[in-house]
Structure 1
Amino acid sequence: MKKLSEQEIESQLTKLSGWEYVDGAIETSFEFKDFKDAFSVMTRIAFECEAQGHHPDWSNVYNSLHIRLNTHDAEGITEKDFKLAQSIEEIIESE
């Protein structure tokens, strides 16, 4: 998988609301009503990650979820990261 240039990353980010390029990864945060809602969405995202064979660095504290994506094998951001980010957005929007 080809590592994207910073220009390509910035161009792709214009298609994703709330995502930023920070220290070699794209990242975002979400806030939910409570822990149960946050964990429910995390579970749905986890199944999608497994289906895509691509897994985020993420953390959850009570009702908040922070997600960072990069492709470790490519040592940067690839199309895989943007594909998963788009899938995450679709899951969030369906809630």
Structure 2
Amino acid sequence: MPVDRKAVFADAAIMARLDAELPHWRYEDGWIRRTYRTNSWKGTLMVINAVGHLAEAAWHHPDLTASYAFVEVRLRSHDVKGITVRDFALARKIEEVVQWQPGREPEADLSGTPQGDLRFAYVKYD
């Protein structure tokens, strides 16, 4: 049976899905939200660009707040004014990309940014 991509979740269902799938995200004021801490303006811009690419590719656009050392991502389906499967799907993809740490993968062919050198600091990983 196909899923109705515009069906709005009830608050309890949103909280349950966040707990199960996206523990660093929260539900507040009708949005699912995540704040990514960065080490600098450079890191903030890189997070914004990554989120922007994913949102445009998905054709589902979050609201963003940016500062020197953080980016807040807020998702809700504007057309139905609520949280739908589209919001959870994009949140999972954003989380996967922004929190990716190649040097910590079992087969680390990519080393990731140098740790301990603030010239290369990017995201403050969870």
State the AA in 1 paired with 2:50. Answer: R
Question: Secondary structure of the residue that 2:79 maps to in structure 1?
Answer: helix
Aligned pair partner of 2:90 in 84, 87, 95: 84
Residue 41 (structure 2) pairs with residue 35 (structure 1):
yes
Who is 1:2 aligned against?
7
Residues 1-95 of structure 1 mapped to structure 2, 5 A cutoff? 1-14=6-19, 15-95=21-101
| Structure showing greater relative contact order (alpha-carbon pairs closer than 8 Å, 6 or more residues apart) | 1
Percent of matched pairs sharing the same residue: 33
Q: Which runs of 5+ in 1 are unaligned?
A: none
Distance 1:55 1:66 in 2: 13
1:59 touches 1:67 (CA, 8 Å); kept in 2? yes
Instruction: Please state which structure has a larger fraction of its residues in strand.
Output: 1
State the AA in 1 paired with 2:41. Answer: F
Name the TM-score, length of structure 2 as normaliser.
0.71
Q: How many residues align?
A: 95
2:47 touches 2:71 (CA, 8 Å); kept in 1? no
